[in-house]
Chains A and B, each alone.
Chain A
Amino acid sequence: NAGVTQTPKFQVLKTGQSMTLQCAQDMNHNSMYWYRQDPGMGLRLIYYSASEGTTDKGEVPNGYNVSRLNKREFSLRLESAAPSQTSVYFCASRATSSYEQYFGPGTRLTVT
């Protein structure tokens, strides 16, 4: 039981490049989330998915897109990376019957 896994762990992009951050969970959770973490700002919600086939914007969705590929996987795409997207990105999942979210180890992204 790996919990929530994220790939890659580290990534460096040039401005304008695109990439997809991958997230998978093996806990059969319905809800999944993408956050970004910046110093002094805690974690801010980018997008979430309440169930397979649905996605909704969070606090800071601009510049991102998501795909809920199936119940296990929830990916985050940066179409044209900007330096302001330099951050640590966390994926999380939650069971419908609980308010507790389980987090992955994070992806550290630098955009130059």
Chain B
Amino acid sequence: AQSVTQLGSHVSVSEGALVLLRCNYSSSVPPYLFWYVQYPNQGLQLLLKYTSAATLVKGINGFEAEFKKSETSFHLTKPSAHMSDAAEYFCAVIRFSGGYNKLIFGAGTRLAVHP
């Protein structure tokens, strides 16, 4: 069954530094992958999605992710961190089950950005 693993529950970067949040997936079929962001005391907002089109996916707020089948990875990056990027980030994969599809989430990575 499809699943995702996020490496690192906490990541801390300096403002202006590269952001790299890691996600590896497990899937026996071509996966549909997502990154969501959760700002403090808010719901989840979709950052970007991979649905088997271009392997480099651009999202909102300057984030992008690259689908690498050989590495079963879908890491999230941003060239230059901003203080407003501090949030929790979730990688997710669609699991197809019994005719329905469900989003399966990773445990999340909390990003801290310091001056």
Contact = CB atoms under 8 A, between A and B. Distances in A.
Contact of A43 (B42, B90, B94): B90
B43 A90 contact: yes
A61 interface: no
A44 B102 CA distance: 10
Interface stretch (B14-22, B68-76, B77-85, B103-111): B103-111
Contacts of B45: 103
B44 interface: yes
Interface in A33-65: 33, 40-45, 48, 50, 56, 58
Given A40-B107, A105-B43, A50 B49 contact: no
Contacts of A104: 43
A56 B100 contact: yes
A90 B103 CA distance: 13
Interface in B26-64: 32, 34, 36, 41-46, 49, 51
Contact of B101 (A42, A99, A105): A99
A58 B105 contact: no
Contacts of B43: 4, 90, 103-106
Given A40-B9, A48-B102, A100 B46 contact: yes
A112 interface: no
A106 B105 contact: no
Given A58-B102, A99-B51, 17 more contacts: A4-B43, A40-B108, A42-B90, A42-B107, A43-B105, A45-B102, A45-B103, A48-B102, A90-B43, A90-B44, A92-B103, A99-B94, A99-B101, A100-B46, A103-B36, A105-B43, A106-B42
Nearest first, the 4 A-B pairs at minimum CB distance are A42-B105, A103-B43, A103-B44, A43-B105
Interface of A: 4, 33, 40-45, 48, 50, 56, 58, 90, 92, 99-106
